[in-house]
Structure 1
Amino acid sequence: MDFLVFKPMFLSLFLFLSYQTAAEASKLSTQSFNFSNGASSNARELASKCNWFRGKWVFDPKYPLYDSNCPFIDPQFNCQKYGRHDNYYLKFRWQPFACDLPRFNGLYFLEKWRGKKIMFVGDSLSLNQWISLTCLIHSWVPNSKYTVFKTDGLSSVTFEEYGVKILLYRTPYLVDLVNTKAGRVLKLDSIRNGRAWLGMDMLIFNTWHWWTHTGRSQPWDYIQEGKTLHKDMNRLIAFYKGLTTWARWVNRNVDPSRTKVFFQDISPTHYEGRDWMEPSRTCASETLPFFGASYPAGPPLEWVVVSKVLSRIKKPVYMLDVTLLSQYRKDAHPSHYSGNHGGNDCSHWCLPGLPDTWNQLLYAALFS
């Protein structure tokens, strides 16, 4: 769905969500939590230390952090294997303005999470990040025994020596999509999938991209809210309602003393060159990041929805606010260099590549 469709609805969306103060927006941009006691940290104190999500991309010849021979990389993301010859996109490191990110240490990660279960929950962007994390860890223990399990809905990589299991639960909307007599129904207030997420030591959630699908790529026939079936509705409002259902699930089911919860913020697409002031281009022709002081398109409206929902959640959820830093990376998509994704893919990300930075930020949040 073209994002221009959403822009005339900007005012009505804000009326629907209610007024968000500048203080709320500031809090969300630097949000962090003390997982040991479940209390949110002071945003001003955190900002005085460092905001990891505001910075710039710098060239670093030591990158990437692993190579394309990682045994877990899906053909969809293995750009080097499927014909991409430029490699500058592999050589950029995220540099926060006020500090340095801690160096990712896969051995330290395994030792600290020995015997634990980590689950990514979401769509193919969760798949992107799940593979990235397993490859980052594997690069530190290349001779360590591992097992891989894959089904349509659930996959896992287990590092046997450490008892660390990293799982992926595929559910594009987080809320339930079910087959009924009426047809395929997206249920905005149902989240029975959540039974599979219980008992995890860490949960990393993601959703958005499938909320925009229309036509043949739309996997539902109706949207259900309560007992009412809708043929369609404003997708941002539907997203807000579905995400609010997820927030209620977290409030009811997560024990902060047992489980750390992250929400992976909106992963941007780069199909429209006008977003970075080059209207005739897409990601397919890009080999360098955007280096301007601010991204011309500004924050996407779906980012506003995520920020609003997370500002109201009662349990501690750490927002990995990767939207802006990912907007700069118009160069980092598979485009035509994908093993099993036809056409021009400006939604997902090459591996090695940008999702490695998402996991460096996850690492920083866990261990700093």
Structure 2
Amino acid sequence: MNLIHYTKRSSAASCQKKWLARHLEGRTLVTRIGDGNLTIVIFQALLERLRNKRLVFVGDSLIRGQWVSMVCLVDSILPKTLKSMHSTANASLNIFKAKEYNASIEHYWSPLLVESNSDDPVNHRVPERTVRVNAIEKHAKYWTDADFLVFNTYLWWRRPLMNVLWGSFGDPDGVYKKVKMLRVYEMALRTWSDWLEVHVNRKKTQLFFVSMSPIHTRAEEWGADNGNNCYNETDMITEEGYWGQDSDPKMMQVVENVVDDLKARGLSVQILNITQLSEYRKEGHPSIYRKQWYPLTKEQIANPKSYADCIHWCLPGVPDVWNELLYAYIFHQ
């Protein structure tokens, strides 16, 4: 890989715009770093790889951010008349279309992968989260013909117990039971893996699972004052091997076990392990600079860290790096 570094001073500000052009086997990636933002522009090579194909991201708002990142990476090279965006399936499925390439980059909202009472893409903040741990077809029918499937599910499981439903929502004969989260997580992933084994075209579809996306809500973990979070953080964590308490290795082990079992049955799922590299990026979250769904109270305004978003990621930013990894797998597998 040949690297070319140079800087460009912005005419609108005094900050330095740093550019990194990377030439990899005849393809060019250009990275721009400025004002604390990272933008990765992937040129025609990726769209050529996606010609006449579907790339579908499936999961929660974190993988939706990765989808937005991927759309932005290819959007800049497409004329307005040759791209479109639309939603379907009650806005659960959002589709970006590169018309000239007949390629689509899509996101399907399914935060727990299996069916749940949090499946509405807008009204999903429910006090009692419930999953139909053996039901996935309602969602999976929208993925069936994809050429590249990228899954995640983690954050929505983070509670000691999950409410599990055997039966249908609204069915008076349905059976509800509280089950330890880790056990339900495995049950859901087994349902997901069984569906993949039966329905995926092994000659066509490449499968990926994105590992845990870390959060930065406990500043004492990286040596800052107790009670603080990512608010006002401007530097990366420099401690080698740093690992936050909210990243659960036991959950990742469940994923690895399920993926290994699938491999033994002849179906390969590549794990995109983005956890460790993202752990260092406490300064990469939107913090207070995000859309507020409800008006802020006087108390919140007086204490900004109380409403800082230390879960999702700024764009451009960390999800662009995740997509560079995905790009490499898509291109070279």
TM range (shorter): 0.7 to 0.9
Aligned to 2:298: none
The answer for unaligned runs of 5 or more in structure 1 is 1-59, 68-85, 94-102
CA distance in 1: counterparts of 2:154 and 2:195, whole angstroms:
18
In 1, are the aligned partners of 2:49 and 2:331 still within 8 Å (CA)? no
Q: Give 1:77's aligned residue.
A: none
**CA separation of 1:294/1:185 partners in 2, compared to 1, >3 Å: closer, same or farther?**
closer
Name the counterpart of 2:240. 293
Deviation for aligned residue 1:285 = 2.3
When normalised by structure 1's length, the TM-score is 0.67
Aligned partner of residue 48 in structure 2, secondary structure: helix
Deviation >4 Å, runs of 4+: 63-67, 225-228
190, 194, 206: which one pairs with 2:135? 190
- Residues 234 and 336 (structure 1), Cα distance of their counterparts in 2 relative to 1, 3 Å cut: same
- 1:140 matched residue in structure 2: 77
3-state DSSP class of the match of 2:194?
helix
Structure 2 gap segments, 5+ residues each:
1-16, 21-29, 119-127, 168-172, 295-306
Counterpart for residue 224 of structure 1: 165
Counterparts of residues 309-328 of structure 1 (less than 5 Å): 309-313=258-262, 314=265, 315-328=267-280
Deviation of 1:239 after TM superposition, in Å, equals 1.2
Displacement of 1:245: 1.2
Question: C-alpha separation between the residues in 2 aligned to 1:108 and 1:195?
Answer: 29
Matched with 1:206 is 152
Q: Deviations over 1:68-126 (max 9, x none)?
A: xxxxxxxxxxxxxxxxxx933x25x9xxxxxxxxx863311111221111111111112
Structure ranking higher on relative contact order (CA contacts 8 Å, 6+ apart) = 1
Alpha-carbon offset, residue 240 of structure 1 = 1.6
2:194 to 248, 252, 257: 248
How much has 1:225 moved relative to structure 2? 5.1
TM-aligned CA distance change 1:354 to 1:245, over 3 Å:
same
SS in 2 for 1:169: strand
Shift of 1:154: 1.0
**Corresponding letter in the other structure for 1:187:** R
Q: Does the aligned pair in 2 maintain the 1:277–1:296 contact within 8 Å?
A: no
Distance across 2 between alignment mates of 1:213 and 1:149: 34
Aligned to 1:171: 110
The alpha carbon displacement at 1:228 in A equals: 7.8
Decide which of 308, 321, 330 is 1:357's aligned counterpart.
Answer: 321
Q: Secondary structure at the match of 2:101?
A: coil
Listed one character per residue, the Cα deviations across residues 190-217 of structure 1 (whole Å, up to 9, x for unaligned) are 1112111111111111111111269xxx
Within the candidate set 257, 265, 287, 1:308 is matched to 257
Secondary structure of the 2:314 match is: coil
- Whether 1:113 aligns to 2:50 is yes
Cα separation, 2, equivalents of 1:225 and 1:312: 25
CA separation of 1:296 and 1:274: change in aligned 2, threshold 3 A: farther
Secondary structure of 1:283's aligned partner: coil
> Which residue, out of 345, 350, 356, partners 2:309?
345
Q: Are the equivalent residues in 1 in contact too, given 2:133–2:188 (CA < 8 A)?
A: yes
Give the Cα separation in 1 of the matches to 2:102 and 2:260. Answer: 35
Q: What is the aligned counterpart of 2:19 among 38, 62, 66?
A: 62
State the alpha-carbon separation in 1 of the partners of residues 114 and 203 from structure 2. Answer: 25
- Contact persistence 1:66–1:135 (CA under 8 A): no
Quote the Cα distance in structure 2 between the aligned partners of 1:304 and 1:341: 35
Q: State the one-letter code of the partner of 1:170.
A: W
**Corresponding residue number in structure 1 for 2:7:** none
Change (3 A) 1:283 1:229: farther
Q: Secondary structure of the equivalent of 2:141?
A: helix
Greater strand share, 1 or 2? 2
Residues 167-205 of structure 1: per-residue CA shift (max 9 Å, x gap): 1110111001259xxx98411111112111111111111
1:212 maps to amino acid: R
Q: Does 1:161 align with 2:100?
A: yes
Change (3 A) 1:163 1:66: farther
Q: Quick one: which of 263, 284, 291 aligns to 1:332? A: 284
How many residues were matched structurally?
A: 273
RMSD, aligned CA: 3.0
Going from structure 1 to structure 2, the CA distance change for 1:360 and 1:184 (only over 3 Å counts) comes to closer
Equivalent position of 1:16 in the other structure:
none
Decide whether aligned partners of structure 1 residues 141 and 308 sit closer, same or farther in structure 2, where only a CA change above 3 A counts.
Answer: same
Percent identical among aligned pairs is 32
Q: Report the Cα distance in structure 2 between the residues aligned to 1:66 and 1:237, rounded to whole angstroms.
A: 43
Q: Distance in 1 between matches of 2:115 and 2:252?
A: 22
